[in-house]
Amino acid sequence: MEISSLGEFGLIKHLTEKTTIKNSSTLKGIGDDAAVLSYKDKEALVTTDILLEGIHFDLTYVPLKHLGYKSAVVNFSDIYAMNGQPRQITVALGISKRFSVEDLEDFYAGLQLACEIYGVDLVGGDTSASLTGLCIGITCIGEASGDRIVYRNKAKNTDLIYVSGDLGAAYMGLQLLEREKAVFAGEKDFTPDFAGKEYLLERQLKPEARKDVVHILEENGILPTSMIDVSDGLSSELLHICTESGVGCRIYEERIPIDYQTALMAEQFNMNLTTAALNGGEDYELLFTVPLSLHEKMERIDAVKLIGNICDAAEGTNLIARDGTEIALVAQGWNSLERTNS
Protein backbone atom coordinates (compact mmCIF):
# COMPACT_ATOMS: atom_id res chain seq x y z
CA MET A 1 0.00 0.00 0.00
CA GLU A 2 1.38 3.42 -0.93
CA ILE A 3 1.75 5.81 1.98
CA SER A 4 0.21 8.65 -0.05
CA SER A 5 -3.08 6.74 -0.18
CA LEU A 6 -3.50 7.27 3.58
CA GLY A 7 -2.07 10.77 3.98
CA GLU A 8 -0.09 11.91 7.02
CA PHE A 9 -2.88 11.78 9.61
CA GLY A 10 -4.34 8.61 8.18
CA LEU A 11 -0.91 6.98 8.35
CA ILE A 12 -0.41 8.02 11.98
CA LYS A 13 -3.83 6.71 12.93
CA HIS A 14 -3.19 3.46 11.06
CA LEU A 15 0.15 2.86 12.79
CA THR A 16 -0.91 3.86 16.31
CA GLU A 17 -4.59 2.92 16.63
CA LYS A 18 -3.77 -0.11 18.83
CA THR A 19 -1.50 1.87 21.16
CA THR A 20 -2.48 1.53 24.82
CA ILE A 21 -1.52 3.62 27.85
CA LYS A 22 0.48 1.87 30.59
CA ASN A 23 1.70 4.70 32.86
CA SER A 24 -0.41 6.84 35.21
CA SER A 25 1.86 9.78 34.33
CA THR A 26 0.41 9.74 30.79
CA LEU A 27 -2.77 11.83 31.04
CA LYS A 28 -3.17 12.23 27.27
CA GLY A 29 -1.33 10.37 24.54
CA ILE A 30 -1.76 10.38 20.76
CA GLY A 31 -4.68 12.30 19.29
CA ASP A 32 -4.31 15.94 20.29
CA ASP A 33 -1.91 18.82 19.60
CA ALA A 34 0.38 17.63 22.38
CA ALA A 35 0.67 14.83 24.89
CA VAL A 36 -0.13 15.65 28.52
CA LEU A 37 2.13 14.19 31.21
CA SER A 38 2.02 14.50 34.99
CA TYR A 39 4.98 13.80 37.30
CA LYS A 40 4.09 14.21 40.96
CA ASP A 41 7.05 14.38 43.33
CA LYS A 42 9.40 13.22 40.55
CA GLU A 43 11.97 14.79 38.25
CA ALA A 44 11.45 14.46 34.49
CA LEU A 45 14.30 13.09 32.36
CA VAL A 46 14.35 13.83 28.62
CA THR A 47 16.64 12.39 25.94
CA THR A 48 16.59 12.49 22.13
CA ASP A 49 18.31 10.31 19.51
CA ILE A 50 18.38 10.66 15.74
CA LEU A 51 19.06 7.69 13.45
CA LEU A 52 19.79 8.25 9.75
CA GLU A 53 19.85 5.66 6.99
CA GLY A 54 23.36 5.24 5.66
CA ILE A 55 24.91 6.69 8.81
CA HIS A 56 23.44 4.72 11.72
CA PHE A 57 21.90 1.74 9.94
CA ASP A 58 21.92 -0.13 6.63
CA LEU A 59 18.60 -1.59 5.48
CA THR A 60 20.47 -4.14 3.35
CA TYR A 61 20.75 -6.26 6.48
CA VAL A 62 18.71 -4.50 9.18
CA PRO A 63 15.06 -5.69 9.27
CA LEU A 64 12.64 -2.83 9.85
CA LYS A 65 11.04 -4.55 12.85
CA HIS A 66 14.47 -4.86 14.50
CA LEU A 67 15.20 -1.23 13.63
CA GLY A 68 12.01 -0.09 15.34
CA TYR A 69 12.89 -2.07 18.45
CA LYS A 70 16.47 -0.81 18.57
CA SER A 71 15.40 2.81 17.94
CA ALA A 72 13.30 2.72 21.10
CA VAL A 73 15.71 0.74 23.28
CA VAL A 74 18.71 3.04 22.71
CA ASN A 75 16.63 5.88 24.15
CA PHE A 76 15.47 3.81 27.11
CA SER A 77 19.13 3.05 27.83
CA ASP A 78 19.90 6.76 28.26
CA ILE A 79 17.19 7.06 30.90
CA TYR A 80 18.42 3.99 32.78
CA ALA A 81 21.92 5.50 32.69
CA MET A 82 20.52 8.35 34.82
CA ASN A 83 19.08 5.76 37.23
CA GLY A 84 15.59 6.63 36.00
CA GLN A 85 12.63 4.83 34.45
CA PRO A 86 11.51 5.56 30.86
CA ARG A 87 7.79 6.32 30.66
CA GLN A 88 6.92 7.90 27.28
CA ILE A 89 8.36 8.34 23.79
CA THR A 90 7.52 10.45 20.76
CA VAL A 91 8.57 9.34 17.28
CA ALA A 92 9.36 11.49 14.23
CA LEU A 93 9.92 9.83 10.84
CA GLY A 94 11.21 11.13 7.52
CA ILE A 95 10.07 8.64 4.86
CA SER A 96 11.12 8.34 1.22
CA LYS A 97 8.79 7.08 -1.53
CA ARG A 98 10.38 3.64 -1.69
CA PHE A 99 8.73 2.67 1.62
CA SER A 100 5.24 1.19 1.76
CA VAL A 101 2.66 1.22 4.54
CA GLU A 102 3.60 -2.41 5.24
CA ASP A 103 7.24 -1.38 5.76
CA LEU A 104 6.20 1.15 8.38
CA GLU A 105 3.91 -1.41 10.01
CA ASP A 106 7.00 -3.59 10.51
CA PHE A 107 8.94 -0.66 12.00
CA TYR A 108 6.11 0.20 14.38
CA ALA A 109 5.67 -3.45 15.35
CA GLY A 110 9.25 -3.44 16.65
CA LEU A 111 8.80 -0.04 18.27
CA GLN A 112 5.63 -1.09 20.07
CA LEU A 113 7.14 -4.42 21.14
CA ALA A 114 9.94 -2.51 22.88
CA CYS A 115 7.38 -0.22 24.53
CA GLU A 116 5.40 -3.24 25.73
CA ILE A 117 8.44 -5.03 27.18
CA TYR A 118 9.82 -1.93 28.93
CA GLY A 119 6.46 -0.49 30.02
CA VAL A 120 6.70 2.72 27.98
CA ASP A 121 3.89 4.71 26.33
CA LEU A 122 4.05 5.94 22.73
CA VAL A 123 2.40 9.37 23.06
CA GLY A 124 2.99 11.23 19.79
CA GLY A 125 5.30 12.22 16.98
CA ASP A 126 5.38 13.43 13.39
CA THR A 127 5.93 12.17 9.84
CA SER A 128 7.33 13.88 6.76
CA ALA A 129 8.56 13.10 3.28
CA SER A 130 12.34 12.56 2.98
CA LEU A 131 14.63 12.83 -0.04
CA THR A 132 17.50 11.01 1.67
CA GLY A 133 16.07 7.72 2.88
CA LEU A 134 14.66 6.85 6.29
CA CYS A 135 15.21 9.36 9.12
CA ILE A 136 14.20 8.50 12.68
CA GLY A 137 14.02 10.90 15.61
CA ILE A 138 12.88 9.63 19.02
CA THR A 139 12.47 11.57 22.24
CA CYS A 140 12.10 9.62 25.47
CA ILE A 141 10.72 11.06 28.69
CA GLY A 142 11.52 9.34 31.97
CA GLU A 143 11.20 9.96 35.67
CA ALA A 144 13.34 9.65 38.77
CA SER A 145 13.36 10.82 42.36
CA GLY A 146 15.60 13.84 42.65
CA ASP A 147 17.87 12.23 45.24
CA ARG A 148 18.25 9.06 43.10
CA ILE A 149 19.37 10.62 39.81
CA VAL A 150 22.92 9.61 38.89
CA TYR A 151 25.06 12.00 36.84
CA ARG A 152 28.45 11.62 35.15
CA ASN A 153 30.22 14.17 37.33
CA LYS A 154 30.24 12.69 40.84
CA ALA A 155 32.93 9.97 40.59
CA LYS A 156 35.48 10.24 43.41
CA ASN A 157 39.07 9.11 43.93
CA THR A 158 39.18 5.42 45.07
CA ASP A 159 35.70 4.67 43.66
CA LEU A 160 35.44 1.29 41.97
CA ILE A 161 34.51 1.03 38.28
CA TYR A 162 31.96 -1.58 37.18
CA VAL A 163 30.38 -2.51 33.86
CA SER A 164 27.43 -4.79 33.15
CA GLY A 165 27.30 -7.65 30.64
CA ASP A 166 30.07 -8.00 28.08
CA LEU A 167 31.65 -5.68 25.53
CA GLY A 168 32.54 -5.80 21.84
CA ALA A 169 29.84 -8.22 20.69
CA ALA A 170 27.71 -5.60 18.91
CA TYR A 171 30.74 -4.35 17.00
CA MET A 172 31.64 -7.89 15.93
CA GLY A 173 28.04 -8.42 14.85
CA LEU A 174 28.33 -5.33 12.66
CA GLN A 175 31.58 -6.58 11.12
CA LEU A 176 29.94 -9.91 10.38
CA LEU A 177 26.96 -8.27 8.67
CA GLU A 178 29.22 -5.98 6.64
CA ARG A 179 31.34 -8.94 5.54
CA GLU A 180 28.34 -10.92 4.33
CA LYS A 181 27.02 -7.85 2.54
CA ALA A 182 30.34 -7.47 0.69
CA VAL A 183 30.60 -11.18 -0.16
CA PHE A 184 27.13 -11.31 -1.67
CA ALA A 185 27.07 -7.82 -3.18
CA GLY A 186 24.64 -7.63 -6.09
CA GLU A 187 23.06 -11.05 -5.52
CA LYS A 188 19.32 -11.09 -4.93
CA ASP A 189 19.02 -14.54 -3.40
CA PHE A 190 21.73 -15.60 -1.01
CA THR A 191 22.04 -17.31 2.35
CA PRO A 192 24.65 -15.71 4.63
CA ASP A 193 26.59 -17.92 7.02
CA PHE A 194 25.53 -16.91 10.52
CA ALA A 195 25.57 -20.34 12.19
CA GLY A 196 26.96 -20.16 15.70
CA LYS A 197 27.07 -16.37 15.63
CA GLU A 198 23.51 -15.62 16.70
CA TYR A 199 24.56 -13.80 19.88
CA LEU A 200 26.68 -11.32 17.93
CA LEU A 201 23.81 -10.56 15.55
CA GLU A 202 21.35 -10.11 18.39
CA ARG A 203 23.67 -7.67 20.14
CA GLN A 204 23.87 -5.57 16.97
CA LEU A 205 20.33 -5.86 15.61
CA LYS A 206 18.25 -6.20 18.79
CA PRO A 207 20.11 -4.78 21.80
CA GLU A 208 18.54 -4.57 25.23
CA ALA A 209 18.69 -1.74 27.78
CA ARG A 210 19.88 -2.84 31.22
CA LYS A 211 16.85 -2.02 33.34
CA ASP A 212 17.62 -5.17 35.32
CA VAL A 213 20.90 -3.70 36.56
CA VAL A 214 19.17 -0.52 37.73
CA HIS A 215 16.65 -2.63 39.66
CA ILE A 216 19.33 -4.90 41.17
CA LEU A 217 21.35 -1.94 42.41
CA GLU A 218 18.26 -0.41 43.99
CA GLU A 219 17.29 -3.71 45.64
CA ASN A 220 20.76 -3.91 47.17
CA GLY A 221 20.69 -0.32 48.42
CA ILE A 222 23.46 0.80 46.05
CA LEU A 223 23.44 4.27 44.49
CA PRO A 224 26.29 4.76 41.97
CA THR A 225 28.33 7.94 42.21
CA SER A 226 28.38 8.25 38.40
CA MET A 227 26.90 6.29 35.51
CA ILE A 228 26.72 6.25 31.69
CA ASP A 229 25.60 3.77 29.06
CA VAL A 230 28.15 2.27 26.67
CA SER A 231 26.88 3.48 23.30
CA ASP A 232 30.07 4.90 21.76
CA GLY A 233 32.63 2.52 23.32
CA LEU A 234 34.05 1.85 26.79
CA SER A 235 37.02 4.21 26.35
CA SER A 236 34.87 7.13 25.22
CA GLU A 237 32.31 6.66 27.99
CA LEU A 238 34.92 6.27 30.74
CA LEU A 239 36.67 9.42 29.55
CA HIS A 240 33.33 11.26 29.72
CA ILE A 241 32.99 10.28 33.39
CA CYS A 242 36.58 11.21 34.19
CA THR A 243 36.39 14.56 32.39
CA GLU A 244 33.06 15.53 33.97
CA SER A 245 34.19 14.39 37.43
CA GLY A 246 37.72 15.80 37.24
CA VAL A 247 39.36 12.46 38.05
CA GLY A 248 41.59 9.83 36.48
CA CYS A 249 41.14 6.07 36.20
CA ARG A 250 42.81 2.72 35.85
CA ILE A 251 41.08 -0.20 34.17
CA TYR A 252 42.60 -3.63 33.71
CA GLU A 253 42.68 -5.42 30.37
CA GLU A 254 42.26 -8.84 31.97
CA ARG A 255 39.06 -7.71 33.70
CA ILE A 256 37.19 -6.42 30.63
CA PRO A 257 34.24 -8.82 30.14
CA ILE A 258 34.19 -10.38 26.65
CA ASP A 259 31.94 -13.15 25.32
CA TYR A 260 33.45 -16.25 23.73
CA GLN A 261 31.74 -15.62 20.36
CA THR A 262 33.22 -12.12 20.33
CA ALA A 263 36.71 -13.53 20.88
CA LEU A 264 36.29 -16.09 18.08
CA MET A 265 35.03 -13.45 15.66
CA ALA A 266 37.90 -11.10 16.45
CA GLU A 267 40.32 -13.92 15.69
CA GLN A 268 38.62 -14.60 12.34
CA PHE A 269 38.82 -10.92 11.41
CA ASN A 270 42.40 -10.67 12.71
CA MET A 271 41.32 -7.82 14.99
CA ASN A 272 42.70 -6.89 18.40
CA LEU A 273 40.07 -8.12 20.84
CA THR A 274 40.75 -5.51 23.52
CA THR A 275 40.56 -2.69 20.96
CA ALA A 276 37.16 -3.97 19.81
CA ALA A 277 35.89 -4.14 23.40
CA LEU A 278 37.21 -0.66 24.23
CA ASN A 279 36.03 1.14 21.11
CA GLY A 280 33.36 -0.93 19.37
CA GLY A 281 30.28 0.76 20.85
CA GLU A 282 26.56 -0.07 20.70
CA ASP A 283 26.81 -2.46 23.65
CA TYR A 284 24.30 -0.41 25.69
CA GLU A 285 25.72 -1.81 28.91
CA LEU A 286 25.89 0.35 32.03
CA LEU A 287 29.27 1.70 33.15
CA PHE A 288 29.26 3.13 36.67
CA THR A 289 31.28 3.90 39.78
CA VAL A 290 30.58 3.11 43.43
CA PRO A 291 32.42 3.91 46.67
CA LEU A 292 35.15 1.47 47.71
CA SER A 293 33.18 0.75 50.90
CA LEU A 294 30.53 -1.06 48.82
CA HIS A 295 32.96 -3.62 47.39
CA GLU A 296 31.59 -6.58 49.39
CA LYS A 297 28.00 -5.79 48.40
CA MET A 298 28.98 -5.46 44.75
CA GLU A 299 30.78 -8.82 44.78
CA ARG A 300 27.41 -10.53 45.29
CA ILE A 301 25.95 -9.06 42.07
CA ASP A 302 26.63 -11.37 39.11
CA ALA A 303 25.30 -9.01 36.43
CA VAL A 304 28.26 -6.62 36.72
CA LYS A 305 32.04 -6.91 36.78
CA LEU A 306 34.73 -4.86 38.50
CA ILE A 307 37.13 -3.53 35.85
CA GLY A 308 39.17 -0.88 37.67
CA ASN A 309 39.18 2.13 39.94
CA ILE A 310 39.01 5.91 39.91
CA CYS A 311 42.21 7.74 40.86
CA ASP A 312 43.51 11.29 41.07
CA ALA A 313 43.37 13.26 37.82
CA ALA A 314 47.14 13.72 37.90
CA GLU A 315 47.57 9.94 37.46
CA GLY A 316 45.85 10.02 34.07
CA THR A 317 43.31 7.71 32.45
CA ASN A 318 45.00 4.41 31.71
CA LEU A 319 44.47 0.82 30.67
CA ILE A 320 46.73 -1.62 32.52
CA ALA A 321 47.68 -4.28 29.97
CA ARG A 322 48.12 -7.94 30.85
CA ASP A 323 51.90 -7.45 31.02
CA GLY A 324 51.52 -4.51 33.43
CA THR A 325 52.13 -1.79 30.84
CA GLU A 326 50.10 1.41 31.28
CA ILE A 327 48.44 2.62 28.08
CA ALA A 328 46.63 5.96 27.93
CA LEU A 329 42.95 5.59 27.04
CA VAL A 330 41.93 7.34 23.82
CA ALA A 331 38.35 8.10 22.74
CA GLN A 332 38.21 6.11 19.50
CA GLY A 333 34.59 5.06 19.68
CA TRP A 334 31.74 5.80 17.27
CA ASN A 335 31.57 9.34 15.86
CA SER A 336 28.85 9.84 13.24
CA LEU A 337 30.21 13.27 12.26
CA GLU A 338 33.34 11.61 10.86
CA ARG A 339 31.10 10.08 8.19
CA THR A 340 29.97 13.43 6.79
CA ASN A 341 31.69 15.72 4.31
CA SER A 342 31.06 18.94 6.20
pLDDT tens readout for residues 197-230: 999 999 999 999 999 999 999 999 999 999 999 9
pLDDT tens readout for residues 187-196: 666 677 788 8
Q: By CB neighbour count within 10 A (0-12 exposed, 13-18 middle, 19+ buried), where does 272 fall? A: exposed
Q: How far apart are CA 334 and CA 339, in angstroms?
A: 10
By DSSP bridging, strand 317-320 and strand 248-252 are parallel
Mean pLDDT of 149-166: 97
How high is the pLDDT of residue 93?
95
Confirm if 26 and 35 have CB atoms less than 8 A apart: yes
Q: Is the pLDDT of residue 334 over 60?
A: no
Mean pLDDT of 160-184: 94
Report which residue type is found at 247: V
- In the chain, the N- to C-terminal Cα span, in Å, equals 37
CATH number of 3-148: 3.30.1330.10
Confidence of residue 81 (pLDDT cuts 50, 70, 90): very high
How high is the pLDDT of residue 332?
74
What is the pTM assigned to this prediction? Answer: 0.90
Superfamily for the 160-335 domain? PurM-like C-terminal domain (3.90.650.10)
Q: CB within 8 A of 138, min separation 6: which ones?
A: 48, 49, 51, 71, 72, 75, 89, 90, 91, 92
User: Which residues are paired to 124 by β-bridges?
Assistant: 90
Report which residue type is found at 120: V
pLDDT tens readout for residues 22-57: 888 888 776 666 668 888 889 999 998 999 999 999
**Among 14-18, 112-116, 209-213, 242-246, where is mean pLDDT lowest?**
14-18
Domain ranges of the chain: 3-148, 160-335
